[in-house]
Structure 1
Amino acid sequence: MSLNNLKINKSHIQEYGFTVINTMFSQTELEEINHVLQHIDTSKENFRKSEDLFAIRQFLKEVPEIKNLVFNENIQRVIKEIFGEKYFVVKSIYFDKPETSNWYVAYHQDLTISVDKKLDLPDFGPWTTKKNQFAVQPPLDILENIYTIRIHLDDTDENNGALKVVPKSHAKGIYRPETIDWTIETEEICNVEKGGIMIMKPLTLHGSNRTTNGKKRRVIHIEFSDRELPEVLQWSERMN
């Protein structure tokens, strides 16, 4: 699939919950992004470091100079044509899964959103608070409306932790992973080339395996919505 016909990608997301579009970033653009990433001050508290994973939460806020590089013309076109005119950023994370990483992720849905405060609201909960950051499970219709773009800075396949997904699972509401019936469901590995993206709905069941080929995998994960939250609750990372 390519940028030539985003309608195909859009319908693939609607039906299956995900799509892959390669060659979104040129070699030069990737080098510029890499340059910024190599010069980050990694001592901040929003940065998580272990042997298996390096992650930056609120990535676009923490590393503002990356923003213009990430939102190139191709990405802007995808947001406009696949998501819609009114979508804005609501969450961003950078993941670096090193070459020797044993990090794997069991099947799950992304069920929480990041917000600016904790409030008693009907249909919002459970809540979690980490380092003054608030996450909550919102009503289903808010989750169904979100799109996630995963920008791949390295070639990614089943040997270095490409995402596995259960096609069409995004349309089944809250789907507990332990109840997956593999006689009905299928699994698909989403290989993505360096400079490509995967788009998915957060309710699509997804997971990833350990790295076995000694190749790193770096991903910029950005979530988008066009919804305002109720009352005085705000998206904590809202960015147009």
Structure 2
Amino acid sequence: MNHNSQINSDGFAIINSVYTENEIDEIISLIENSTKDKTENTTFRKSEDLFAIRQFHKEIPETLAFIFNEKLKKIINSNFGEDYFITKSIYFDKPEKSNWFVAYHQDLTISVNQKTEVVNFKNWTVKQNQFAVQPPNEILENNFTIRIHLDKTTKDNGALKVINNSHSKGVFKVDDLELENETICEVEKGGIMMMKPLLFHASNKTTNNERRRVIHIEFSNQQLPDGLEWSEKTVFHD
């Protein structure tokens, strides 16, 4: 279960069979029951090409008991340690005929509780009443993301494409990206992808009429300076 060397070298790792069919069905059922009457919620984004829920673990907290099963907790502990907590989560539902695609980028911002002047925190934005900021690189380098796949994800329904080892070079412009080491990250239903925020990643349009639902969860173990707090901070372990 230890994929630490691969995550450090490539910037990502894929592990299948983290969830049983029943666990995935429970998570999907909780999401569907919670969202059927809530489409006007400010954390929801709905279009023909994408349905997304920001602050997912706060909007549908009852999913956490199924998401953080014994397998996932062991994976996190063995690869990263026991002191990590949730800092952000988003649910993505890419419908069967989606033309949604995302160009290559790094995940450079974190969600915080307020806007304040802090050294080396820059590029402040506000999205749906949520402050976001780009922290110093060392914070981003120490964080990680887990993507939980509720459907089989392939190159034909928008699986992530990544540039291996691009996380090791810090923050840089996409214009300077070299595409030779591209990997398409196909993941089975019930599998996960672990990745570093600075890894360049993208996704294509759906071409095979197959739905793609993913829960994206970001983690950190760091204290922020000068009164800044992680606005979505949630401890998931006992």
Root mean square deviation, CA, Å: 0.8
Q: Report the Cα offset of residue 180 of structure 1.
A: 1.4
TM, length-normalised to structure 2: 0.96
Q: Which of these residues, 110, 119, 122, is aligned with residue 122 of structure 1? A: 119
Structure 2 partner of 1:3: none
Does residue 228 (structure 1) correspond to residue 223 (structure 2)? The answer is yes
Contact 1:22–1:193 (CA under 8 A) maintained in structure 2? yes
Q: Distance in 1 between matches of 2:71 and 2:172?
A: 33
TM, length-normalised to structure 1: 0.95
Q: Report the Cα offset of residue 175 of structure 1.
A: 2.2
Q: Report the Cα offset of residue 154 of structure 1.
A: 0.3
Q: Which of these residues, 177, 180, 188, is aligned with residue 180 of structure 1? A: 177
Q: Report the Cα offset of residue 132 of structure 1.
A: 1.6
Structure 1 partner of 2:6: 12
Query: Tell me, which stretches of 5 or more residues in structure 2 are unaligned?
Result: none
Contact 1:169–1:175 (CA under 8 A) maintained in structure 2? no
Q: Distance in 1 between matches of 2:28 and 2:84?
A: 27
Does residue 75 (structure 1) correspond to residue 72 (structure 2)? The answer is yes
Q: Distance in 1 between matches of 2:210 and 2:225?
A: 43
Does residue 194 (structure 1) correspond to residue 189 (structure 2)? The answer is yes
Q: Distance in 2 between matches of 1:223 and 1:179?
A: 26
Structure 2 partner of 1:113: 110
The residue matched to 1:76 in structure 2 has which SS? helix
Q: Report the Cα offset of residue 67 of structure 1.
A: 1.1
Greater displacement, 72-81 / 149-158: 72-81
Structure 1 partner of 2:166: 169
Q: Count how many residue pairs are aligned between Structure 1 and Structure 2.
A: 232
Query: Tell me, which stretches of 5 or more residues in structure 1 are unaligned?
Result: 1-5
Show structure 1 runs of 4+ deviating over 2 A: none
Does residue 218 (structure 1) correspond to residue 213 (structure 2)? The answer is yes
Cα deviation 1:109-166 (Å, max 9, x = unaligned): 0000000100111100110012220000000000001110000000001000000000
Q: AA paired with 2:155?
A: E
Q: Which of these residues, 156, 167, 177, is aligned with residue 159 of structure 1? A: 156
Q: Distance in 1 between matches of 2:202 and 2:173?
A: 13
Structure 2 partner of 1:207: 202
Contact 1:143–1:203 (CA under 8 A) maintained in structure 2? yes
Q: Distance in 1 between matches of 2:68 and 2:60?
A: 14
